[in-house]
Structure 1
Amino acid sequence: MSEEKKENRRQFLTKGLMGGGLFASAVLLLKHGFDFIFPSEAEAKKRKLLVGKVDELKIGEAVEVTYGENDLFLVRSDDGFKVFSAICTHLGCKIKWEGYRNRFYCACHKGIFSANGEVISGPPPRPLDEFEVEVEDNLVYMWMKESNRGLS
């Protein structure tokens, strides 16, 4: 009879440990899944990056800047400076600056964007992604959010 009790106790402990492990795994999976689907803005750190000097860029010009895997364009207009992603919002192709036409062009599917990043024609569903810009002491900086998925 004592062997039956030991076996039952052993089975009980095994089932309890397995159940506890499954519960803990489910909680962790749900928490990380929720964080992935709904990332917290507070968790993303902002990073200030130098993109150029004020007097290096004339009004109506754009220069390409690369940070790691992030391709960007710094544009100077009458309104000041803007920084845009160099990635088309249609299918993620890299865009080019056509200075003689004062616009961005995506050769993949003939998407055209204005110097302000707005869609002029083609299939892109929305404007180019734009980043916050700050001018300080004749230097142009941009702010990027840094998260566990890279810069954005």
Structure 2
Amino acid sequence: MGVYKINVDGATLEIGRKSSIGVIIRDFKGEAATGLCRLLPGNFFVLETETLAVEAGILLAKDLGLQQIINESNSLLAIQSISAKEVSGETGHIIQGILSNLDCFSSWQIRHVKKDFNKVVHELALYAKCKEMSQVWEECSPTIVRHLIHHDCL
């Protein structure tokens, strides 16, 4: 109890179109506490997009005042870069911000998950890209992924 799981994903599929991210935060029962989909201001490389998704999840959890988090992403390279505290290179400034914000939590973990376990946030990222919009949901699950969340809880 008291531990929240944050799943994040980024979408960078088409040259010339903006990248996007999806975030969902669930409580210990697996029920959605909040989520977001966000269209980013430009087209970013995959690693940047995935790292920005991790950052967005952590910032959303911080805004909610959560204390214990597990952040999951299907980007192994982003997770390895954050775990290794690689603050140089193209994502160094993002990772530095992530590490700084993680100090606000009493406990945290960052883990890699297979893409099959990240379908909800992948759909949210694609939704932001297709609709060219950003949206935040609080205390409910987004309608567009409710069936996937229900399936995960089973």
TM-score bracket, normalised by the shorter chain, equals under 0.3
When you count helix as a share of all residues, which structure comes out higher?
A: 2
Q: TM-score under structure 2 normalisation?
A: 0.25
Structure number with greater CO (CA < 8 Å, separation at least 6) is 2
Q: TM-score under structure 1 normalisation?
A: 0.26
When you count strand as a share of all residues, which structure comes out higher?
A: 1
